[in-house]
Structure 1
Amino acid sequence: MKALQGVEGQVEWCERPAPACDVGQIRVRVAAAGLNRADLLQRAGLYPSPAGSSDVLGLECSGVVSEVGAGSAWQVGDRVCCLLAGGGMAEEVVVDARHALPVPQGLSLAEAAALPEVYATAWLNLFQLAGLKPGEKVLLHAGASGVGSAAIQLCKAFGSPCWVSVGSTERLAYCTGLGAQGGALRGENLASLRDFAPFDVILDPVGANYAELNLELLARDGRWVNIGLMGGSKAQLDMALLLGKRIQLSGSTLRNRDDEFKAALLSDLGQHVWPLFGEGRLKPQLEQSFAAKDVQAAFAALASNQVAGKVVLLIDESLV
């Protein structure tokens, strides 16, 4: 099968043997794969796949089940979208059957490829780790990203007002269109977030650059979940303020979680989140899709930081 590798800062299609489909697994003929920042890091050699997982790029994909291992309830021909530790950018992928969800009613396979990673990340960190409750105020840094786009919609759907930090007035308008109450522009008036504080929960993929401000903006008993380091890994914090406010600071990753954890997370998503797509309360934010031959352009689009929402690579256009 053809599969996409990161090689010395570039991506290239190569031939790989098709993986075997074992007990409890399904084989999926891939229609489309979502792009994520982890793919950019892996391409650059900075984020290798976890031990035992595929080194092929791609943390989420959609497609059609083509083989079912013993013990799985899926059927050949089912339309699914999958959360992966790697391997999604290939003609086919074998995945733990519990890590797949049905394509929501009314969505295309291209749209479905933009869902698993970002909704799993947003749900895990806001609702499971931070314990977000209706009415609590949320700050989402990088609000126009794929995760941010999902998080805004989830906050709206479950009754928690949210604000964002973004890079431009256009991206702020995009976020308010999805349901954010407002926000601030990084590099200009990020401190204006004080006008909306205090926040009960902050979801932050930036890291060090925002650490001091996050601590200031959080309410007493606030929860701060850090999911990325785009702004650096080392920061100084006023620990007296952290203690005085009883702040809970959590570091969170999803890719290297074990199969049981991901299975439980996907089950929770299927129960609480997936029905909202059918009701029209959640919508995939697919900004750009690229043919497989245009993979370099797809990665460049994501790396530009100008995308609001998601970029998807179309692996098999006959399916989408």
Structure 2
Amino acid sequence: MQENKPFKSGFVSIVGRPNVGKSTLMNTILGEKIAITSDKAQTTRNNIRGIYTTEQEQVVFLDTPGIHKPHHRLGEFMVKNALSSLNDVDLVLFMVNVTQRKGPGDQFIIERLKHIHTPVFLVLNKIDQIHPNELPEIVEGYKKEMDFKEIIPVSAMYGNNLQTLLSDITKYLQPGPQYYAADQVTDHPEYFIVGELVREKILHLTQEEIPHSVAIQMESIERDETTDKLHVRASIIVERESQKGIVIGKRGTMIKEIGTRARKDIENLLGEAIFLELFVKVKKNWRDRPMRLEELGYREEDY
């Protein structure tokens, strides 16, 4: 009789430049939306944990902020958060966008990766957007930089090659415990994810400096005894009065659209109808003020 294989588990960090598809990769693997996505750089600000469980394994993915040159304290927090994830994981996925040339940002990350003892995979994303003949040259360019344990081309958006990626990850995991319940896909509280869903809609609907200047402060999630609906209250934080006007929009059109789109995703997350109430508050230069950052959930102890 064949012996049962031991259950494997481990932590896997996904690192890379902004906007290479890290959050999309994790969401596609999990089959659920845990991390918000947009076409704006630096969408992810905290390390987001997603939990993938089968009968044979449990993989805890850490979707990290894109590593970039910071221009304020929030940016410093994000980069430290991402780099700190390299220290205490079992495997690192270095993700690149094959439609972009290898640049100084990739080189900076590679130099950091050379000094860790953790196995590193090179994950080449967006292969659906290039001709297959272009791939070997791109791979060779990265292979010259360091010795990757595995090199895996994928399309995070369409799921191409993700089963191969998961199989290779499992090979490098050690026998270990199941850290989370089989049906749990994240260990972040609902408060956090609800706030992120509101911020995602602002990223989709606004331009220029607004997406980077916005934070969400969750006020409350309480059941209204009269309507039996969940009443969700959240404040949209901006840095200047002019930004407040843009987020509210002419006759409240923008904030209404933000609320309409966010409510749909939040109801899908919570599995019931909600009443969403949004406010807009100005907290000047919050991205450069340590006390403000801590109030809004960007705490130094997180990294």
TM-score, normalized by length of structure 2?
0.32
When Rg is computed on C-alpha atoms for both structures, the one with the higher figure is 2
TM-score, normalized by length of structure 1?
0.31
Normalized per residue, the structure richer in strand is 1
Normalized per residue, the structure richer in helix is 2
